[in-house]
Structure 1
Amino acid sequence: MVKSKDRRKFIVEKYVKNKDKYGQTIVFAVNQLHAIALAATFKEYGIKADYVISSVRDMVTGVTRSQEDNASAIEAYKNGELQVLVNVNILTEGVDLPKTQTVFLTRPTVSKILMTQMVGRALRGKEADGTEEAYIVSFVDNGLDKIAWTTPEMIFEGNNDFADSKTEYEKRDIRLIAISKIEEFAKMLNDSADTRELEKAPFTQRIPIGMYAFTYLEDNGVDISYQVMIYDSTRKAYEQLMVNLPALFNEYGNDEEYLSDEILAEMAEQCRDAFFLGEMVPPYDEKDIINILKYYAQYDSAPAFYSFDELDKNKIDVCAIAKYIVEQKIDPVTQSAYVQQLWENGDDNVLRLFFGRQKYFYNQLNREILRITSPFLFEDDEDNVTYGKRYFEKMTLHEIGKINPKYEDELRSNAFKKALLPNGQYKCAGCQKSFPDRVLLHVDHIIPLNKKEGKTVPENLQILCRSCNAKKSDKYDE
């Protein structure tokens, strides 16, 4: 689809033949290379066109594109100086282009949300300073008919205003809490799942404080909408990750829009070692990191964060509800009616929003009541096993982290303290160069574990940059 000159020619000629009818047109392309090539083809046919994409580096396309270039192109389109503006999916939300009369869909999508957002660019209507008529032109290729097309009834049902609404977007975001939590509470119903660490945390700490929500395109043309829930325990780690993403990508020299699985796995492991050490309840998920890396590779920016500040955690604190039931000595019949009333008559249905299903709420509430009335049932939940440090000496740092995350964090932190310079940077034990961020460095054994003297102990750990770490690995592989 991207490389086909005939396909690009067909798309552009469709516009040229109907340019008076179509007027100002936004074109949604398959990817960055497609957007650049389409804009060039439009220009070859004498159409005033430009493109907006996330920044592109010379070594990839021979083209340099900055955010200033994007802003300039959008402004020219707003002023009527451009007939056509090509993009991938930057213009789906948040950019007001009311004079758009036509949308060209030259890419597939299986996302109904994204389809509606793209179509909505032309459906503002006169009351929103838009056009009286609008055209949606879809290019459907052979074998690519699995597209989430949207009918006129679906588009206009309950929505005559296609202006982006921040309020509605936030409401949509907060509803997604339930999607994430259902899985967690479903696990609590499974006796084979070990959720002791999770249940030790105060219930309000298990409630997300916000989320990163974003959409990116897979290399097979499928749109991925993803949300990463953030908790008190992981907030700082994710904030550090977002700040360090530019340095991480620069260190790995990644200029591709789509990263290989090998590179993603390596980068995700480095992020884990740099930011996600120690005990985190609920714990972070490596899949979240990989999806964030995929997004950054396409857009050169961190995903947007949406806070759940407006969520009243007290209304869903089942520990407090259980305590009230026990202290008031509410009998079973009255308790059942009381709990049902909480579920059905909440001012904002926040219980339903968070738990998703009534049985998950009841299950968790009953567990908390039992904790108060029959604490002896939970005595076995305490893990009284302790490990001496010698137990870990022949384990890798990652293996130690699975048993004792605090000790892994201690070992890594001590290694970085030894490498810390007076200026706040860290010195590589190999090349002796200094680096500003931990994310650019690795904690490595001086004597490898596969040698008799090699142990995972503080005095055998050093800090190496990525280049020196690779050289050392190659040396011992030989």
Structure 2
Amino acid sequence: MQVEELLNDLTMRAMNNQQQRVSIKCRTFMKKLGYQTRSKKRVEEVEQAIRSSKLTLRLPEEVESWSAISPDDSLHFYIEKQVQMIRKAQHTPPLPYAFQAEAIHRLHQMRKKTSFKGLVVLPTGGGKTTTAVRWLWEAALVRGKKVLWLAHRHELLNQAYATFCQYAQCDITYRIVSGVHDSARLIQDEQLLIASKDSLVHHEAILSSWLADEQEVYVVVDEAHHATSTTYKTLLSHIERQGARMYLLGLTATPFRTAESEQGALRALFTDGIFYKKDLKHLIANGILAAPHFHSLQTDVTVQTVLNEEQWRTLQQLDQLPESIMQQLVANQPRNHMIVQQYVQRQKQYGKTILFAMNRLHALTLAQVFKQYGIDARVVISNHETSVENQQTIQAFRENVFPVLINVAILTEGADFPDVQTVFLTRPTVSAILMTQMVGRALRGVAAGGTKEAYIVSFIDEWAEKIAWSNPRVLLAGENLEPIPSEQLPLQMTQMISAKMVEQVAQRLQDQAPIEERTFEQSVPKGIYSLRYIHEERAISEDILVYESDVEDYEAMFRFLPTYCVQQGLHANLERRALRAYAEELEMQFFIQDQLSPMYDIWDLVTLIHYYLVTGECPKLLAFKERQQINVTDLAKKIMKQNMSYREQQQYVFENWEQHPFLRIFFDDQFLYYKKCIQTELILLEHTQQSLDEEAFRDTPLNQLKRQHHAIWRKIVYRVFEENQKQYGQYTCVKTGYTSNEKIDFHIAYKVSLKRGGTTTVDNLTLVYKKYIQEKSSRRT
């Protein structure tokens, strides 16, 4: 195939792609051209043809020619875009809210200075982007001044672009620059650049050319609490050196972080401080935003799949779940019925509701289930062939013809339903932008034509892999890394613990689940590790529940952790999945002595290791002092002791519910759920647990036992160490005689393998020094 013919084919494919791009394996590209090697002549021939085509070949920053691309890597071609225009809006935009007008006025006042560096702080849903864009049109763009809008995620760039279009006061040229938009190499003399920080930091010469002869430039950093990163500081320093007066505006819902060093760094960057600030409470009090109520419901669905590297990248970059997992969730009828039943039980409270489904099949399935319950729920689907029908359905929903609108990727932005009171989030997302858009459908306050209260109902699945799903509670508070104020601590801790406890308590309530030895009182955390920190310019917020039986184990692990991390060469840039093996070693060393089923998750240990590697500190336990108020075990004991009748029992349970506010918070205002917990506790007090028989697992490999029956694995492993413990508490290797006090120095091995008739029992297991195994393995290779 001739070069021109292949490039024409790629051009057609790119034109049919929404992103105007196409990728092809370098090896496939060469094969189609009939090339065995890339000689200098052939490379020049291809590059000349590309320059003559409509395509642009985007190369990695450090690569000069396609000849340096590995045959197994891909070549990425884009339709070369000429000058792009934002046209003056044909409609009259709505007036800003009073607080937005105040912020814009304040920014106009600050512009009278020679330059400035300051912040505007507004909560999620408060219109930070809208406020900044309105001001930029008036202060800069209509005056022919250049604007650079910076962010660290391409979703934020798309959001900014849409807002600039919505409020456009004149025609301007623009370009969006990022890994999924245009290359920085295409920058010409556009008046507006909307760019990711990473796409510009290695193109200082291009940025200098764009700024040449400018007397002033307006720079906005979206989510400015990330601006203390090296990349941002490098970019902003370079812009300042060009000599133009810089008006630097930071937008954030979180002005300062926990660490004093970071507070100083942010204040040093935005030297004029906060120009304007309004918090969430103010906007709710003034009716701009509805007061949000969060309901987090566990589905009792466990996703066992561990993502491979390609699936992990797809999830992180495109927010797309693997098809196999999607099908697993969509086809789960108990999950679907639970979603619908939640609406049916609270229909009067939830009112007009938008439900976000995972895909077309999920939407249609849920609509059918709603129909079975007598609820009129209809479906709209993005890019669906019945777009006219979509519009008719949306209009009927707007006119309150039916109460529930199920949609797939169509109502996240642009759709205006002020009187929607509730959103159902039935699909997980890693995207804060998507979560903002979904939650925002119900947040319009009374003063903005909406409702006084909003209900955000999340359906939470259990995942084998630790994934940082976006959390609507955290989102509305902003990526707030401030320590929790002491006066708010009891309430917030109860809410955090409730959200995480529901899943574990729900497991106890399954009709077919064995009754645990642990009482409800033992199952309520003693406290929480509330982790708030920044890593690679991403705000991380994790809450780990800590139970009484594990407190001393955690403390022992923390004392050991600094030395262990140095010995193992661990560092903050390791991926979390790479830390799992080390977490399992620490589990073996410190946690197996607790004979009950573990209340921690192995990913909790991974998170704590990561937190230490990033911050250099071990977290402090925040004690849950209100746990006595939710002591269901004591209630059950009192009911049994006084031999209450059914009527007396019901009255006592209800009065206790009414008297204790933290009880209601903990159970997410679900009285029936609370009653069922008491009934389960009564059964537990009447019967002893039928413990699992270890003999039933004598033919199960130890590694499989660890995954499938963790409690049995713990008991066996603990007893193996006890059997091999010598004088002074030391353990001994059966092969070398090596002794050590540390469990993590040893591997548990079979005396007789399962293949040769051995069993997974304490008398057939022993300890072998890990280095002995490694040396033996290296000799074989």
TM-score (norm 2): 0.39
1:232 aligns with 2:548: yes
> Quick one: which of 209, 223, 230 aligns to 2:526?
209
Correspondence for 1:461 = 766
**1:193-236 deviation line (CA, Å, top 9, x unaligned):** 33x22xx22332211101112145687x7654221111111112
1:294 aligns with 2:591: no
1:340 aligns with 2:654: yes
**1:366-414 deviation line (CA, Å, top 9, x unaligned):** 2344566xx4xx46x42384649xx859953773865363332121244
Q: Assess if the C-alpha contact under 8 Å between 2:490 and 2:626 holds in 1.
A: no
1:323 aligns with 2:640: no
- 2:496 alignment partner, SS class: helix
CA shift in 2, pair 1:236/1:295, >3 Å:
same
Correspondence for 1:382 = 690
> Quick one: which of 71, 75, 93 aligns to 2:258?
93
Correspondence for 2:364 = none
Correspondence for 1:403 = 712
Question: For 1:338 and 1:295, how far apart are their aligned partners in 2?
Answer: 44
Question: For 2:713 and 2:561, how far apart are their aligned partners in 1?
Answer: 28
CA shift in 2, pair 1:237/1:8, >3 Å:
farther
> Quick one: which of 570, 583, 590 aligns to 1:268?
583
1:146 aligns with 2:455: no
1:445 aligns with 2:759: no
Q: Structure 2: give runs of 5+ residues left out of the alignment.
A: 1-195, 242-247, 279-316, 319-430, 446-475
How far off is 1:471 after superposition? Answer: 3.1
- 2:585 alignment partner, SS class: helix
Question: For 1:475 and 1:402, how far apart are their aligned partners in 2?
Answer: 36
Identity of aligned residues (%): 18
Correspondence for 1:355 = 667
> Quick one: which of 175, 187, 199 aligns to 2:507?
187
Q: Assess if the C-alpha contact under 8 Å between 1:277 and 1:409 holds in 2.
A: yes
**1:71-118 deviation line (CA, Å, top 9, x unaligned):** xxxxxxxxxxxx999xxx9952354669949769xxxxxxxxxxxxxx
Q: Assess if the C-alpha contact under 8 Å between 2:197 and 2:232 holds in 1.
A: no
Which shows bigger deviation, 455-464 or 408-417?
455-464
Question: For 1:173 and 1:471, how far apart are their aligned partners in 2?
Answer: 49
Higher relative contact order (CA 8 A, sep 6+): 1
- 1:303 alignment partner, SS class: coil
Correspondence for 1:365 = 678
CA shift in 2, pair 1:412/1:202, >3 Å:
same
Correspondence for 1:242 = 558
Alignment of 1:125-144 (within 5 A): none
Larger relative strand fraction: 2
1:36 aligns with 2:230: yes
**1:444-470 deviation line (CA, Å, top 9, x unaligned):** 4386837859887679734535x5443
Question: For 1:121 and 1:429, how far apart are their aligned partners in 2?
Answer: 66
Q: Assess if the C-alpha contact under 8 Å between 2:747 and 2:769 holds in 1.
A: yes
Question: For 1:275 and 1:173, how far apart are their aligned partners in 2?
Answer: 26
Question: One-letter code of the match for 1:311?
Answer: E
How far off is 1:257 after superposition? Answer: 1.6
Which shows bigger deviation, 94-103 or 337-346?
94-103
CA shift in 2, pair 1:360/1:431, >3 Å:
same
Aligned alpha-carbon RMSD (Å): 5.3
Question: For 1:304 and 1:208, how far apart are their aligned partners in 2?
Answer: 15
CA shift in 2, pair 1:449/1:366, >3 Å:
same
> Quick one: which of 603, 606, 621 aligns to 1:305?
621
Correspondence for 1:128 = none
Question: One-letter code of the match for 1:293?
Answer: I
TM-score (norm 1): 0.60
- 1:233 alignment partner, SS class: helix
- 1:92 alignment partner, SS class: coil
Question: One-letter code of the match for 2:667?
Answer: F
Question: For 1:158 and 1:270, how far apart are their aligned partners in 2?
Answer: 36
How far off is 1:124 after superposition? Answer: 7.6
**1:295-329 deviation line (CA, Å, top 9, x unaligned):** 33433333343111x2251x322232233334445
> Quick one: which of 487, 493, 516 aligns to 1:167?
487
**1:226-275 deviation line (CA, Å, top 9, x unaligned):** 211111111122222222222332233233524262x2231122122112
Q: Assess if the C-alpha contact under 8 Å between 2:716 and 2:762 holds in 1.
A: no
Question: For 2:700 and 2:649, how far apart are their aligned partners in 1?
Answer: 54
- 1:445 alignment partner, SS class: strand
Alignment of 1:14-29 (within 5 A): 28-29=225-226
Question: One-letter code of the match for 1:276?
Answer: F
Question: One-letter code of the match for 2:581?
Answer: E
Question: For 1:214 and 1:247, how far apart are their aligned partners in 2?
Answer: 21
